[in-house]
Every structure is written in C-alpha cells, then in structure tokens.
Structure 1
C-alpha cells in the first residue's frame, strides 16, 4: 500500500494532506480507495465555499457505499478537482495524484491532529 512520506494524514477518515503556507491539498488515501472499491462519483464543493471543522465538504460514492468527508479544520475552498466530474475512478488509479480539493486554512484548530506517514501506517495495520 502506497503511503507517501511527504504528506500528513487523518486516520479516522483516511484523508491525506499536502500543507504548505496555510494552503492544503486534500484527497483520500490509497487505503480508502481500496476499501471503497470502484469510485463512481465525487461530490465537489464550489470555489469560495467555507467549512467549519466537522462540516461535510464532500461525498465519495462507490459501488459499495458512500463516504462523507468532514473538514478536520476550518477552511475556504480555493479549487475543486473538476477532472473528477468526468473521471472519478482516477482516484482508484492513483489516490495521491488525484486530489479532491485545495483549500486555504482559516483556523488551524485540528491541523495538529493529523499524523505522519509512519503513524498512519501503524493505524491502518491495527
């Protein structure tokens, strides 16, 4: 299972984050896409939408189930990956190249709860 070392992770929702200068790129992990199976649809938020910690910002639907994604910290959407509208299964092909959204972090409460690749590996091994 691919777990890039340069990212941080949410162990509960199986999300990955690339954070630089208060901007985060967010996607689902390889573990999540494998668990979901063939992804059929990704509900994307609109640019400039704002979410508080705990708000649902997206839904990833597969043949097996729909998984709601909740904001682990407050943010404003800078960009949604509209390529996923036509090709949601791209996440199955490469979960880390096919991000869901890019956001501006508006309150970093919750950022410190994200974990390293090694800690994420341990969490999914349990």
Structure 2
C-alpha cells in the first residue's frame, strides 16, 4: 500500500492535499480502496455544498459494501471529480491522483494540523 508523504490523513481513511493556500483536494486512501474492492458507484457531494470535518460528504459503493465518505476538512466544495461518474474505479486505480473526490475551499487551513501524517496513519493501521 502507498501513503504519500505530502498528504494529511483522517482516521476515517480519507486524505487531504493542500493545493493552493486554502484550497485542498480530498479522496480516499489506498488502504480504504483496497478494503472496499472494486468501486462501482460514487455518490459525490454537490459543488458549493458546505461540508464539516467528521461528517458525511458522500458515499462509495463496491461489490462488497456501501461506505460513507467522511470529510477530513471543513469548507465549501468548489469542484467534484466528474470522471468518477463514468469511471468510479479510478478510485481503485489511482486513489491519490485521478481518483480524487472533491476540491474544497477550507474554512480554516489550520484544521489540517489535526490530521495525521503518512507515518502515523500507516502505524495506526497495524
């Protein structure tokens, strides 16, 4: 499994990449996609939707289960990954690149300090 060092991780197996000041990209971790199996549907949040850290922002469905996506940050959704509507298994193939879920304007970028770095997240899985 892969856990890039440039990301922050939420205990609910979501990652955050700070892109530009107060804009971040979020998605699910390699661990989460592996546990799910092949993703067959993604319920994406709406653009301009307000989201709160620790609350549901969408869901993913696989052959094994349906799992809520828990937001790792608080803010407003600027954009969602429309490619997931036609190719939801991008989450499996490219969890940290093409399989991103949403871009979010952060309410408080300091909130990222509460999240785990790669080493802590990976150790927490054991």
TM-score under structure 1 normalisation? 0.91
Matched, 1:74 2:74: yes
Q: Aligned equivalents of 2:74 and 2:100: distance in 1?
A: 18
CA, structure 1 residues 72+2, in 2 after alignment: closer, same or farther (shift >3 Å)?
closer
> Does the CA contact (< 8 Å) of 1:73 and 1:109 recur in 2?
no
Contact in 1 for aligned 2:7/2:118 (Cα 8 Å) = yes
The answer to whether the 8 A contact 1:77-1:103 is kept is: yes
Cα distance in structure 2, aligned partners of 1:52 and 1:123: 23
Corresponding residue number in structure 1 for 2:105: 104
Alignment CA distance shift 1:77-1:90 (3 Å): same
Q: Is the CA contact (8 Å cut-off) linking 2:16 and 2:72 kept in structure 1?
A: no
Mapped pair 1:119 → 2:120: yes
State the TM-score, normalized to the length of structure 2: 0.91
CA contact (8 A) 1:72 1:110 kept: no
Over 3 Å counting, the alpha-carbon distance change for 1:109 and 1:54 in structure 2 is: farther
Alignment pair present for 1:92 and 2:61: no
Report the count of equivalent residues: 124
Moved over 6 A (4+): none
- Unaligned residue ranges in structure 1 (runs of 5+): none
Q: How many Å separate the matches in 2 of 1:89 and 1:51?
A: 24
Per the alignment, do residues 64 and 57 of structure 1 end up closer, same or farther by CA in structure 2, a change over 3 Å counting?
Answer: same
Cα offset, 1:55, TM superposition = 2.8
